[in-house]
Amino acid sequence: MELVGVRVEIPANTPMVLLREQEGRQRLVPIYIGSPEATAIHYALEGVVPPRPLTHDLFLSTLETLGARLDKVVVTEVKEHTFYAELHLETSEGPQVVSSRPSDAIALAVRCDAPLYANDDLVDEVGQEPPPDPEDEAAEIIDEFHEFLENVTPDDFAG
């Protein structure tokens, strides 16, 4: 999955994170999140370095100190409008999986450049088709107009 970014849905003024399939249909997966998590993700995307570590920075520092690293994040499912995710960690004792909120998992992944994944069943359930690309739509209209010009005759305007 690709992290498209953090958005605020209007009129509810609710932050959401937007993920997109990198291959195939490029469906979008919107996940509503809290304001602090939205801020944490936004800061990481913008490269903002706070004077003191934020919670997600502290967590990654702790993992590093313990000899572990975040290998990947997987958004696994949605139950009753609540999304679930997993942190896949590489540790000295082998791989470990820790349950997480997607917003926290994404905030961590952005900070250490870990890849994001979503289960296929989840994307099939909640994935939304992307809106049509305005450039594609404009190109189609121009092509139709060119075809019209190539085939139009003065008789088409008679009457």
Q: What is the pLDDT of residues 1-44, one digit of tens each?
A: 999 999 888 777 889 999 999 988 899 999 999 999 999 999 99
Residue 41 lies in a domain: yes
Residue 150 lies in a domain: no
Residue 32 lies in a domain: yes
Residue 153 lies in a domain: no
pLDDT of residue 91: 96
Q: What is the pLDDT of residues 83-111, one digit of tens each?
A: 999 999 999 999 999 999 999 999 999 99
**What would the 3-class secondary structure string for the chain be?**
CEEEEEEEECCCCEEEEEEECCCCCCCEEEEECCHHHHHHHHHHHHCCCCCCCCHHHHHHHHHHHCCCEEEEEEEEEEECCEEEEEEEEEECCEEEEEEECHHHHHHHHHHHCCCEEECHHHHHHHCECCCCCHHHHHHHHHHHHHHHHHHCCHHHHCC
Q: Is the pLDDT of residue 80 over 80?
A: yes
Q: Structural domain of residue 70, as residue ranges? A: 2-130
Residue 102 lies in a domain: yes
CATH of the domain at 24: 3.10.690.10
At residue 158 the predicted structure's pLDDT band, cuts being 50, 70 and 90, is low
Whole-structure pTM value:
0.80
Number of domains in the chain: 1
